[in-house]
Structure 1
């Protein structure tokens, strides 16, 4: 037991969390905010369906919350390169929580109409990048360069954990309390906002490196964040992979519920359990990030996309829920390092005074890619079985990963955090005098 205590103490002393308490604060703040977002996404759909009995109205609510980010992400992202990111992130939390609280109160006093609800959802959608981009911009300002990749992995908990608990809480509490349940995510946003106060008080560096001598580029001069995605080879390759990955992944969103019903005969409970299994796997897979940080990041993600497709393929021959849960859990393990690795490449390859613009543009790409894939899945389900759609999605992920793995910029990208005992890069040969 003493040896174990010593090992744990040594591990703690070396951990990035101990060296950067601000990272823990930022991660907790982001967890509360993103859990609130997932809660609201499910709760609003339930409330609208119960109130109007119209799936079309529920679809409009989802559309109004998501689509505006495609435009507002590139427009608001550059703000983080020109102004202090902590107050901007706090503003995003304030708007998110305040709007949700307004929906609850207006519904309670019978003043909430569908048009007004759609306007409020549009407002949430437009300002959502303020709550989502800030944490990515702040990472390089609170941790050292060598700790950045692992810090991104820690922050990824705020991407995975909310998917595990937010929808379950939102569905259960909306069914019990109706729109009053929305006060819970409003409170979560308040907690997230309060957690940002220590970051402000701790004197977190608010300006990008070099900003004192050279003003950061405007959004227009950096093509609103898209320019590095086109002109920087490794970032271009990573974003190409992300687009292929998310479009290939999207059909699962529409195919999995049909698969759970027709092939597993498990209904809504099985459907929810499958995504929960993936969420658990994604949380567990985060422990692999420190080791993978010593590998070539673009190769890690390309191989990861291909392995995700391979992990998913067994679903085409599975007819039992327990086996499907195992497959989804393994898929989550494979998926876990993807976002933090991609973010680390962007942070390393793009000047810090353009991080906000690029992450805003990245948000636009992701928000547009996943629904596109989901819509494609819906069309395919009109002509194919759920098993065939899942198989096509898996094969597409394998193909996308292998295509990107063949790109020279992917294979040549060095590790962002190489192992201490790694052999030094080979020096070019010189001609003797």
Structure 2
């Protein structure tokens, strides 16, 4: 079975040097996600300040899940139905709505009028286009390059996202929360949305090639995946991989407070350690471009499972940062490798429905995992929840092996999707 690409994939450097528009779009995406990365630290702190009679773990789970709920409905309409909109338009709508809504939430926060229901409601409404925007970023960027450059662009999206969400954002968020308050991070995310808005208007073409080739009566993403068993099975693996990770996000603020005995600064340092590891891992994706991708994906799932298990047995800030950093190194290549693997077997007219469905299926695991993670952490405790997350993810590895190694799809692309 052939699992490695037949054609030579371009390197990061080649892609960045060749196309300034792609570079500009990637830079805008990086800066926008830095604002979102600040919320990783700020929103749990803000939630703990306003949760009232709601249990802290449950309140954190609700706040973390809110941005995904309505955005899932829209993304499913795009991926499973016949509703279609150009990726560029969807991303612009996401930027505008986030900028307006998060500015309003920021004003309420800094004036002391923000309540838990208002925060949850604002995150629900302001993130309607979040999931469609996430898939549109990838579709826009990969549509601006040739097939040989797609792996590098997916990898660069991972590098920028990991650096912004897990290094730059949490560091800046921790400093901002400590010096000015958690509410100011909402303004930072709004500013990031405006930066991405400008980058899309300036760099992204109005009619990317795939959008012009979409059929008048296109197939749904699910119908396309039915013809590709490996891609469909791998979507199940990706869903549970993300679902089982989410209780960690609920447990982490409590782990920092109860076990490490630190506050926002300690949480920011942990996310920074994860981000540094993820940044290194994303950079190494460039070196993995010619390796068989199916075994690589399985290995990532198995090794990441050991991270939360190790974290549960650690009681010092420094050791926890090392464990989380190694986890980031292992986890980072998963998304760019998985999407490159998927896209290599799709026709241009199949890209939007399938990529949006994949993004939806993998991302919808987040709110479900967070909603399950809140009661789990509240009932079982922080350390048992971390161990359970790791053990169940470790059991997912054999399922991943069966899913991607036992079948070969008809009409698949070079990567063997």
TM category, shorter: 0.7 to 0.9
**CA RMSD, Structure 1 to Structure 2 (Å):** 3.7
Name the residue aligned to 1:4.
Answer: none
Name the residue aligned to 1:7.
Answer: none
Offset of 1:168 from its aligned partner?
Answer: 4.4
Given the alignment, which residue of 279, 286, 293 partners 1:290? 286
Name the residue aligned to 1:190.
Answer: 194
TM (norm. structure 1) is 0.78
Change over 3 Å in CA distance of 1:135–1:410 after alignment to 2: farther
Moved more, 98-107 or 409-418: 409-418
Name the residue aligned to 2:156.
Answer: 154
Change over 3 Å in CA distance of 1:29–1:267 after alignment to 2: closer
Alpha carbons 2:82, 2:217 under 8 Å: kept: no
1:116-172 deviation line (CA, Å, top 9, x unaligned): 665543321222234322111123321221221121000112321232233443454
Given the alignment, which residue of 163, 166, 171 partners 2:165? 163
Alpha carbons 1:48, 1:54 under 8 Å: kept: no
CA–CA separation in structure 1 for the residues paired with 2:51 and 2:251: 26
Given the alignment, which residue of 222, 226, 251 partners 1:226? 222
Offset of 1:64 from its aligned partner?
Answer: 3.6
TM (norm. structure 2) is 0.80
Moved more, 365-374 or 344-353: 365-374
**1:11-410 to 2 correspondences below 5 Å:** 15-40=14-39, 43=42, 46=45, 50=49, 53=52, 55=54, 61-76=63-78, 82-104=84-106, 119-164=121-166, 165-170=168-173, 172-173=175-176, 176=180, 179=183, 182-200=186-204, 203=205, 206-208=208-210, 211=213, 214-215=215-216, 217=218, 221-222=219-220, 225-266=221-262, 269-381=265-377, 384=380, 386-407=382-403, 409=405
- Greater RCO (CA < 8 Å, at least 6 residues apart): 2
Offset of 1:61 from its aligned partner?
Answer: 4.8
SS in 2 for 1:156: helix
Offset of 1:284 from its aligned partner?
Answer: 0.6
Name the residue aligned to 1:431.
Answer: none
Larger CA Rg, structure 1 vs 2: 1
CA–CA separation in structure 2 for the residues paired with 1:251 and 1:114: 20
Change over 3 Å in CA distance of 1:83–1:42 after alignment to 2: same
CA–CA separation in structure 2 for the residues paired with 1:207 and 1:265: 53
Moved more, 74-83 or 33-42: 74-83
- The answer for unaligned runs of 5 or more in structure 1 is 1-10, 419-433
SS in 1 for 2:282: helix
Change over 3 Å in CA distance of 1:113–1:391 after alignment to 2: closer
Alpha carbons 1:78, 1:356 under 8 Å: kept: no
Alpha carbons 1:89, 1:130 under 8 Å: kept: yes
CA–CA separation in structure 2 for the residues paired with 1:346 and 1:145: 13
Alpha carbons 2:98, 2:127 under 8 Å: kept: no
Alpha carbons 1:91, 1:130 under 8 Å: kept: no
Change over 3 Å in CA distance of 1:323–1:105 after alignment to 2: closer
SS in 1 for 2:213: coil
Equivalenced residues, count: 400
CA–CA separation in structure 2 for the residues paired with 1:397 and 1:110: 40
- The answer for unaligned runs of 5 or more in structure 2 is 1-9
